[in-house]
Amino acid sequence: MKTTIFLIAAVSILAGAALADDHVGQYGGESRAKPLPTSKPNATWRQECGSCHIAYAPGLLPAESWRKVMAGLDKHFGSDASLTAQENRAITEFLVDNAATRWRTPGAPLRITETAWFKRQHDGHEIRPEVWKRASVKSPANCAACHPGADKGDFEEDRIRIPR
């Protein structure tokens, strides 16, 4: 009897979770999409966004996040990264057009590392805390340390190489 009740409870919880998942999508609605559409490379984006860090692929954040990032480039995480109005327009358009397609919540984080999908895929079970402290990794913003194809939007799991 006890087992039956437990089973019923477990099944209901699972079903509920599945329904909820269906509604908001994966990662509480903060799910990304294919990071970079290879059909539409954008030279201005690659050149300008790639001068201080890798050019983060548009699919890693939702459109609203990119709009906010691009509207505040004069104070971009502590640095002035301002562009001409023309460059800014062209890059914003590219980012917004190719932003995450599975985002289901109104949240628009400014940092990729603050998104639910990022946190889940890089949590303590996936990556030991000491890995982040290695000189070869330096920061969670340094995607290319472990994802060699990051600048091409390649984050495939079997191509991950965690450096010593």
Partner 1 sequence: MKKLLFSLALLATPPVLAAAGVSAELLAGYRAEAAKPFSAAQGEQLFRARHGDIGCTSCHTDNAKSAGKHAQTGKSIEPLAPAANPKRLSDPAKVEKWFKRNCNDVLKRACTAQEKGDFVTYLVSIK
The site for partner 1 (CB under 8 A) is made up of 51-54, 74, 77-84, 138-139, 141-142
Name residue 76's beta-bridge partners: 79
Find the shortest distance in angstroms from Cβ 79 to partner 1. Answer: 6
Closer CB to partner 1, 78 or 106, in the complex? 78
Q: What angle do CA 121, 127, 128 make, to 5 degrees?
A: 150
Q: Backbone phi, then psi, for 82, in 5-degree steps?
A: -65, 150
Task: Name the residue type at position 64.
Answer: E
Closer CB to partner 1, 37 or 140, in the complex? 140
Closer CB to partner 1, 99 or 145, in the complex? 145
Find the shortest distance in angstroms from Cβ 138 to partner 1. Answer: 5
Find the shortest distance in angstroms from Cβ 89 to partner 1. Answer: 16
Is residue 43 left, alpha or beta, with left meaning phi > 0 and alpha meaning psi from -120 to 50?
A: alpha
